[in-house]
Amino acid sequence: MLKRFSISLDEDLLEDFDLFIRQRRYENRSEAIRDLIRKSFVKDEWAADKDVMGVISLVYDHHQHQLQEKVTEQQHDHHHLIVSTTHVHMDHDNCLEVIIVRGKARDVQELADQLISLRGVRDGKLAMSSTGKHLH
């Protein structure tokens, strides 16, 4: 369930934030804030730089200009992180892409961030699990 809350920001900080949003191609402030909160939650994992396995899932409209190409290009750029990719044509417009990834938590998170923030991605998630390699 989505809940709304309001945020008060200094005008200059808000301008910087809106610039950040445009540069990262976010659709709106809420989506950018959600991603920033999520990023902060995984920061501890990054610090440890654990080996993880994860699943990135993306729902997107394949009619969005060059989106399919961008999704594929990002994966080729990070092919060393990718174990497997499954593409499902959900309906006439929408695709579901499920990408199984393995690598350092930081690298996996960055790849997921880049994919999820692409314009036209309607839903994006990263589920991260530790391989347990460094558990004591």
Residues that bind Ni ion (CB under 5 A): 89, 95
Backbone angles phi, psi at 132, to 5 degrees: 80, 5
The pair of structure tokens assigned to 7 is 């945020």
Q: Shortest approach of Ni ion to residue 89 CB, angstroms? A: 4
Say how far apart CA 26 and CA 120 lie, in whole Å.
Answer: 10
Nearer to Ni ion, 52 or 95 (CB): 95
Q: Shortest approach of Ni ion to residue 97 CB, angstroms? A: 8
Q: Write the DSSP symbol of residue 61.
A: E
The pair of structure tokens assigned to 49 is 């730089």
Nearer to Ni ion, 58 or 95 (CB): 95
- Which residue is nearest to Ni ion, using beta carbons? 95
Nearer to Ni ion, 122 or 134 (CB): 122
Nearer to Ni ion, 96 or 128 (CB): 96
Q: Shortest approach of Ni ion to residue 131 CB, angstroms? A: 30
Say how far apart CA 109 and CA 114 lie, in whole Å.
Answer: 9
Q: Shortest approach of Ni ion to residue 80 CB, angstroms? A: 25
The pair of structure tokens assigned to 110 is 């960055």
The pair of structure tokens assigned to 136 is 């004591």
Say how far apart CA 30 and CA 6 lie, in whole Å.
Answer: 10
